[in-house]
Amino acid sequence: MQTLTQSPLDAEFVQNPYPFYDRVRAAGPFVHWSHYKMPVTARAVVVGAALRDRRLGREIPAEHARPTPPHLEAFYALERHSMLELEAPHHTRLRRLVVRAFTSGRIAALAPDITALCHRLIDDMPDGGGDLLEYFAKPLPVIVIARLLGVPETDAPDLLAWSNAMVQMYQARRNDVLEAEATQAAQAFTDYLSALIETRRKAPGDDLLSGLIAVQEDGTHLSRDELIATVVLLLNAGHEATVHTIGNGVKTLLEQRDAPLLSEDRVDGTLEEILRFDPPLHLFTRWAYEDVSFQGEVIKAGTQIGLLLAGANRDPDTWDRPNAFNPTRPVKTNFSFGAGTHFCIGAPLARLEMRIALPILFARLPAMRLAQPPLYGDLYHFHGLEALNLRY
């Protein structure tokens, strides 16, 4: 297995990580990424197999578990009950309970509200131009999830601030200051949701949180800790991904001048190409619970591996001219929402938001253009813009 060196904090990598993924893919089914001290892969067939292989998972093997530092307890108290960090049987139970409340019907019913919200946000944008992230991409998903959960819309700014602080724990630039901010946000989020859960227990409403409280199977409910962790996961994962997808997608469409491909008969293919071409999440990890072989490379039990989702999305063995944005290409499954048992539970909501928001945005602002070349933020393993300043 070759070793490759690349800092995720390097300015050139932040702006364009794809050449590094090409190097990883060409070097073998796995390479050792020295910065992360783990094998990583950018091959679509390997990423797809690893995401679906039950011999790998998110839970840290007992022999690799470390005590939680006391100053990070509030953050990891949420992680311990998060579906994202658990495997069967705990993950199976949690996901089944959540799916019973987070139904396709509940999501589809949001369409009129999302449509009205898109128009309202555009109405409130500054005349002549502004940062699309601040005025549209950031508020849209947080308000949608607040309404879905039954959280007062006036509290959406707090949810956004806590979410932004918490996701810093997953970024390569993580340091002591960001850890403190994330932990404080986790505690504030926990306190807020604890109070809201008690309110909903006494007076249930027609909202997702009330549904999560009520749902049961085989006589079991979600515990208080599981409820809080689930709500935090839905907000943090859903919001972060949707903001970056809207930003990256609008940037790409404006650079490619392909906004007409958002017409009703072509919008779905365009959205899938946006997700494939420049996704919001680039690295997702797994632990091997036993020895596993991928294309002749044996991953030993107890090894943590990195799956470069964005690199797999540009594998030339799967997509023709993968570095070209081509909304007319035949749709194939990409890895932007993962795959297997941990396939993103919020994917239908994210797709609905995108399918409604982008056509409205380009129809309402037909003269929209980039005011300056946008830059990606130092957010790895997320991939999103610092700002998207437009003229319209």
pLDDT of 91 reads 96
Neighbouring-strand partners of residue 298: 293
pLDDT at 90 over 60: yes
CA distances from 302 to 56, 188, 190, 288 (A): 10, 34, 32, 5
Q: Are 214 and 103 in contact (CB under 8 A)?
A: no
The predicted structure's pLDDT at residue 264: 82
**What is the per-residue pLDDT for 237?**
86
- Residues with Cβ < 8 Å from 385, sequence gap 6 or more? 133, 244, 247, 248, 251, 374, 375, 376, 377
pLDDT at 361: 96
Per-residue pLDDT of 300-359, as tens digits, reads 999 999 999 999 999 999 999 999 999 989 888 899 999 999 999 999 999 999 999 999
What's residue 286's pLDDT? 98
Among the residues of the chain, which ranges form H helices? 11-15, 18-27, 44-52, 73-79, 90-101, 104-108, 111-123, 132, 139-149, 156-166, 176-202, 208-214, 224-256, 267-277, 309-312, 347-364
Query: Quick one: CA torsion of 268, 50, 285, 74, rounded to 10 degrees?
Result: 90
* Residue 267 to residue 274: CA distance in whole angstroms: 10
CA dist., res. 7 & res. 332, Å (int): 31
pTM over 0.85: yes
Q: What is the mean pLDDT of the chain?
A: 95
Cα separations in angstroms, 354 against 9, 136, 229: 29, 12, 25
- Residue (of 355, 326, 332, 353) closest to 263 by Cα position: 355
Q: How far apart are CA 126 and CA 147, in angstroms?
A: 25
Section 233-259 average pLDDT: 90
Return d(Cα 197, Cα 202) in angstroms, integer.
9
Residue 314: partners with Cβ closer than 8 Å, 6 or more residues away: 18, 21, 22, 276, 277, 322, 323
Q: Which two tokens stand for residue 227?
A: 């409820």
For the chain, domain boundaries: 3-391
- pLDDT per residue over 14-49, tens digit each? 999 999 999 999 999 999 999 999 999 999 999 999
Q: What is the pLDDT of residue 261?
A: 76
Tell me the DSSP string of 86-139: --TTHHHHHHHHHHHHS-HHHHHTTHHHHHHHHHHHHHTSPTTEEEHIIIIITH
What is 3-391's CATH number, 1.10.630.10, 1.20.1730.10, 3.40.640.10, 1.10.3720.10?
A: 1.10.630.10
d(CA 252, CA 187): 37
> So what's the pLDDT on residue 96?
93
Show Cβ contacts of residue 266 under 8 Å, excluding neighbours closer than 6 positions: 327, 328
Count CB neighbours of 192 within 10 A. 17
Checking 326-329 for CB contacts under 8 A at 24+ apart, the result is 326/273, 327/258, 327/261, 327/266, 327/269, 327/270, 327/273, 327/274, 328/261, 328/266, 328/269, 329/269, 329/273
Lookup: tokens for 92: 């199976």
Percent of the chain whose pLDDT exceeds 90: 92
| Residue 277, pLDDT score | 98
Distance CA 142, CA 114 (A): 11
Confidence (pLDDT) at 18: 98
